[in-house]
Amino acid sequence: MTCTGGFFRTDEKVTDVTIEAIKIPDIGGADSVEVIEVCVAVGDTVAAEDSLIVLESDKASMEVPAPKAGKVVSVSIAEGDTASEGDVILELDVAGADDNDTEAASEQAAEDTAEEPSQQAAAAPEPAATDETTETTVETIKVPDIGGADSVDVIEVSVASGDEVEEGDSLIVLESDKASMEVPSPKSGRIVSVAIKEGDKVVQGDAILELEIRQAATASAAPEAAAKPAAAEKAAPAAEPPAKAAPASPAVEPATIGDAVYAGPAVRRMARELGVSLNAVKGSGPRGRIQKEDLQQYVKNALSSGSASAGAGLPAMPDIDFSQFGEISLQAMSKLHKVTAQNMQRSWLNVPHVTQFDEADITELETFRASLKAEAEQRGVRLTPLAFILKAVAHAVAAHPKFNVSLHNDGEHLVQKHYVHIGFAVDTPAGLVVPVIRDADKKSVWQLAEETAELAEKAKSRKLKPADMQGGCFTVSSLGNIGGTGFTPIVNAPEVAILGVSRLQVKPVWDGEQFAPRKMLPLSLSYDHRAINGADGGKFFTYLSGLLSDIRRLAL
């Protein structure tokens, strides 16, 4: 921020001019204003112009920059304090600071200390020794680009006629209903007249004031310039503000003045650095002002929820107080639930899903399964349709290598897998888990039934190891024991396909001569359209349905 740089006092030189007390500068006559942010801590190294604190009155916010580089030795001010001009902010060890910076700031400090701006202003109209070698011009300083905002309120006029201002000093403060913005002086000079007052509404290009600028005259130009009365200059077409004045104080981006955001310059800068849109951040400060902590919390939440919304530019969900509609209570999500939520969202946002539906006639399979009931009991195995489905899926995946890939992160390759590990979703009291059966294509239906039961039991008693849930190529999610006629499962990325199984229904199916009651198993196949196209999906699905309808084909 440049607008306050000229107001600094660095007049307490404690030890051998290396430690300087940095004080609150002229804050436009406000008696005491709230410190809403302290941007530095003891031990921090700051560069000249780094923000030290942010002040906020009920009308404007203002960042106080470091007048020079140095190391913060002590901080005398805390967030929530109220402060007035001259209060010590901190002590800065400037020993290691850049010499030029230090010298320039010390000179400025000496000038400031010796003479208050008003006294300077009183003396200014009569430049003594320089009269013969300077010329004066009068420029109209106009309202710069205010980010396309229609009209904004002038909430503060920081200068008066006769004032001397340095380049960068704040001239006025503008405020829309959501943001405040200081307009700095593009040049040093003396205020000739002020064209606006507090409470006015302005738009880009409106005249703010006329500034008399003294410049060293060249030998040839001097006489002509000296003869030119200031009034004539004033009557001349108003000069456009120099390029430097076009954007307002860089600490408050003009583009945000029309946005629904109320935040100080430091927060805005931090948001820019983090790539966060402040529109998505809820402010906890006075009048909904966004504080540094709000931004930090927002980023923390986005990271911990795996939310891609900030980066993907998706609008954030509104924060709703549900208690306004009735009684509520908050229940902590289990770790598993949170991990599942993250994985689901990541897949949902990353994978372009296609879901196809089909029904497999498993009448014969069910007859065969029923015929195995006694043997299953002997073996101590529960033989549900799932073991057959896993067997058929493993067979289909092995026969359709396009379903056994993952997309490489380089965006250039597919990772083709030459193993067939099939995962299956298990609903547990703690949440959803997906244990993986390794080399499912090489296992018998009995083995698959046994392993499924074993892994499901481990899942429910939370005894699965990470390795038990890794390496899957394809997932089966069966809600057959629960019900439903179909659902659209979310691909368990980095796998590229998943099969949803719903509850079988006995349906009348036309066999060419008559309707016959058949046991129809509703299936849904979701796949990543980046890896699998619709034709491949259709072929795989038809093949799988065929296997389930006639399991003798599994032997082929």
Catalytic one of 337, 353, 413, 529 = 529
Stretch that binds ligand CAO, among 1-9, 309-317, 330-338, 383-391 (CB under 6 A): 383-391
Of the residues 432, 469, 493, 509, which one makes contact with ligand CAO according to CB under 6 A:
432
Stretch that binds ligand CAO, among 248-256, 272-280, 410-418, 420-428 (CB under 6 A): 420-428
Taking residue 73's Cβ as centre, other Cβ atoms within 10 Å add up to 18
How far is it, in rounded angstroms, from Cα 198 to Cα 157?
A: 6
How far is it, in rounded angstroms, from Cα 207 to Cα 458?
A: 76
Of the residues 149, 267, 360, 501, which one makes contact with ligand CAO according to CB under 6 A:
501
Would you call 413 a catalytic residue per the annotation? Answer: no
CB of 522 to ligand CAO, least distance (A): 8
Stretch that binds ligand CAO, among 116-124, 257-265, 473-481, 526-534 (CB under 6 A): 473-481
Stretch that binds ligand CAO, among 222-230, 350-358, 381-389, 465-473 (CB under 6 A): 381-389
The answer to the question of residue 498 lying near ligand CAO (CB under 6 A) is: no
Closest to ligand CAO by CB, 269 or 519: 519
Which token pair is 117?
A: 């701006």
CB of 477 to ligand CAO, least distance (A): 4
How far is it, in rounded angstroms, from Cα 242 to Cα 252?
A: 19
Of the residues 75, 208, 295, 386, which one makes contact with ligand CAO according to CB under 6 A:
386
Q: Name, in order, each residue with C-beta under 8 angstroms of 146's C-beta and a sequence gap of 6 or more.
A: 152, 174, 181, 203, 204, 248, 254, 257
Q: Write the CA distances from 442 to 390, 396, 404, 446, 468, integer angstroms.
A: 11, 12, 15, 12, 18
Closest to ligand CAO by CB, 257 or 426: 426
Closest to ligand CAO by CB, 161 or 485: 485
Closest to ligand CAO by CB, 60 or 386: 386
How far is it, in rounded angstroms, from Cα 319 to Cα 317?
A: 6
Residues 474-493 that bind ligand CAO (CB under 6 A): 477-481, 489
Q: Amino acid identity of 239?
A: A
Stretch that binds ligand CAO, among 134-142, 163-171, 192-200, 422-430 (CB under 6 A): 422-430
What SS3 string covers 331-381? CCCCHHHHHHHHHHHHHHHHCCEEEEEEEEECHHHHHHHHHCHHHHHHHCC
The answer to the question of residue 426 lying near ligand CAO (CB under 6 A) is: yes
The answer to the question of residue 94 lying near ligand CAO (CB under 6 A) is: no
Q: Are strands 82-83 and 33-38 parallel, antiparallel or unpaired?
A: antiparallel
Which token pair is 443?
A: 């296992």
Closest to ligand CAO by CB, 102 or 502: 502
For 523, list phi and psi in degrees, rounded to 5: -125, 145
CB of 372 to ligand CAO, least distance (A): 11
Stretch that binds ligand CAO, among 139-147, 232-240, 304-312, 426-434 (CB under 6 A): 426-434
Of the residues 168, 385, 423, 472, which one makes contact with ligand CAO according to CB under 6 A:
385
Closest to ligand CAO by CB, 171 or 390: 390
Which token pair is 383?
A: 């033989």
Q: Write the CA distances from 422 to 122, 179, 336, 412, 491, integer angstroms.
A: 86, 55, 21, 25, 13
For 145, list phi and psi in degrees, rounded to 5: -55, 120
How far is it, in rounded angstroms, from Cα 509 to Cα 498?
A: 27
User: Which of these, 347, 358, 340, 354, lies nearest to 488 by C-alpha position?
Assistant: 354
Q: Amino acid identity of 460?
A: K
The answer to the question of residue 316 lying near ligand CAO (CB under 6 A) is: no
One character per residue 221-260, x = contact with ligand CAO (rule: CB under 6 A)? ----------------------------------------
For residue 32, what is the enclosing H or E element?
Answer: none
The answer to the question of residue 430 lying near ligand CAO (CB under 6 A) is: no
User: Which of these, 79, 90, 91, 85, lies nearest to 37 by C-alpha position?
Assistant: 79
The answer to the question of residue 297 lying near ligand CAO (CB under 6 A) is: no
CB of 184 to ligand CAO, least distance (A): 57
Return the exposure string of 530-553: e unless at least 16 CB atoms fall within 10 Å of the residue's CB, then b.
Answer: ebbeeeebeebbeebbebbbebee
One character per residue 510-549, x = contact with ligand CAO (rule: CB under 6 A)? -----------x----------------------------
Stretch that binds ligand CAO, among 155-163, 184-192, 316-324, 498-506 (CB under 6 A): 498-506
**Residue whose C-beta lies closest to ligand CAO:** 480
Q: Which parts of 79-230 are beta strand (E)? A: 82-83, 88-93, 134-142, 152-157, 164-165, 170-175, 180-184, 189-194, 201-202, 207-216
Which token pair is 167?
A: 């380049």
CB of 394 to ligand CAO, least distance (A): 15
Q: Write the CA distances from 352 to 37, 341, 468, integer angstroms.
A: 44, 18, 27
Closest to ligand CAO by CB, 249 or 478: 478
Length of the chain: 556
CB of 422 to ligand CAO, least distance (A): 12
The answer to the question of residue 117 lying near ligand CAO (CB under 6 A) is: no
Closest to ligand CAO by CB, 131 or 454: 454
Closest to ligand CAO by CB, 239 or 376: 376
Of the residues 456, 499, 523, 531, which one makes contact with ligand CAO according to CB under 6 A:
456
By CB under 6 A, name the binding residues for ligand CAO.
384-386, 424-427, 432, 456, 477-481, 489, 501, 503-504, 521
Known catalytic residues are: 529
